[in-house]
Amino acid sequence: MCGAREIPPGEMRRVWLDGTPVALANVGGEFLAIGDTCSHAEASLSEGILEDGVVECPRHGATFDVRTGENRSLPATRPVPSFRVSVRDGGVWLEGGSE
């Protein structure tokens, strides 16, 4: 769980779900979560640039849809998992992977 106010719109943060790193994003007030580890060479996607619901990997620039985890550009050729998210009592809760 993470406080909803801890992640302003347009920002991401790495959180953990059962030992798995997850990139939690605030896209215009909607919270979305995908696997934090880039499918290309394991950079942390939460350290990348988030724009219009797409994150650009900080290492080689592959892009991923933060709603689905789908890879949008090379050099990544595989998606990352996506996670269901709920917001309640001022907190953001991860509810498991969907890959």
To ligand FES, the closest distance from the beta carbon of 59 in angstroms equals 4
45, burial (CB in 10 Å: exposed 0-12, middle 13-18, buried 19+): buried
Minimum CB separation of residue 58 from ligand FES in Å reads 7
What is the closest distance, in whole angstroms, from the C-beta atom of residue 79 to ligand FES in the complex? 13
CB closer to ligand FES out of 43 and 49: 43
Which CB sits closer to ligand FES, 30 or 99? Answer: 99
Task: Indicate if the alpha-carbon torsion angle 86, 77, 19, 25 is positive or negative.
Answer: negative
Going by C-alpha positions, the residue among 70, 54, 72, 66 that lies closest to residue 22 is 66
Of 84, 85, 43, the C-alpha closest to 64 is 43
Binding residues for ligand FES, rule: CB under 6 A, are 38, 40-41, 43, 57, 59-62, 75-76
3-state class of 81 per DSSP?
coil
Cβ proximity to ligand FES, 53 vs 61, nearer residue: 61
Q: Which is nearer to ligand FES, 43 or 85 (CB)?
A: 43
